[in-house]
Amino acid sequence: MSIEKLREIIYSNGFHPVYNPEKWNGVLRKTTNCYAYALDALYPETDEVSYLIGEFSGHKYSSFFTDQKLIDHITSDLLALGLEMIPTTLKEDVPEKSYKIAICNSCSDFHFLRRDSSGKWSHKMGWGGRVTTEDYSGREITNPSKADLYDYHIIGYFLIKRKTE
């Protein structure tokens, strides 16, 4: 799938992700990960895109990113998709036509959570994982910083929005 097609899909979602587990937990459950979910980039049943950090901007993926390298590669990917990623806080309001994500890292993997249009947090638990509003202990995620995310630590909170020219 081309960057242009993926950009079109992301833009068509209006930057107000809706929590809809049925949409994500079906056929595409095995071909998308938490990165795809955070971008709200669900596209027709295909496995042409792997959604690895750096893929959209031509960087080589590594499962051992430092926190800063992870942020740098995600920022590059989003710019390639015509998006901006702006640092924010957990409590800061979300402006129109944008939404909030939390980026996490561990010693060998990354993870994303997103704040849906309802104001609740959700995430997709990796390749083949389900979309849920619960953490790994089965508790609803109201504050990602206090959620059980296994060995992931939160790097920061970011607003995602269409890049302004």
Question: How many independent structural domains does the chain possess?
Answer: 1
Name the residue among 13, 66, 68, 1 with its Cα closest to residue 39. Answer: 13
End-to-end CA distance of the chain: 24
Give mean pLDDT, residues 50-69.
81
Say whether pTM exceeds 0.85: yes
CA distance 28 to 161: 24
Give mean pLDDT, residues 144-151.
94
CB 117 within 8 A of CB 18: yes
pLDDT of residue 44: 57
> Is the pLDDT confidence value at 137 over 90?
yes
Give mean pLDDT, residues 37-62.
74
- For residue 69, give its domain range: 3-162
In sequence order, which residues have a C-beta less than 8 Å from that of residue 88 and are 6 or more positions away?
100, 157, 158, 159
CB 104 within 8 A of CB 158: no
pLDDT of residue 88: 97
Residue tagged 């959570």 (tokens): 113
How does the average pLDDT of the chain come out, rounded?
Answer: 85
Nearest 10 degrees: CA dihedral of 74, 76, 80, 81? Answer: 30
Between the CA of residue 50 and those of 17, 31, 56, 120, what are the distances in Å? 21, 7, 10, 27
Is the torsion defined by CA of 93, 94, 99, 105 positive or negative? Answer: negative
pLDDT of residue 96: 87
CA distance 17 to 20: 9
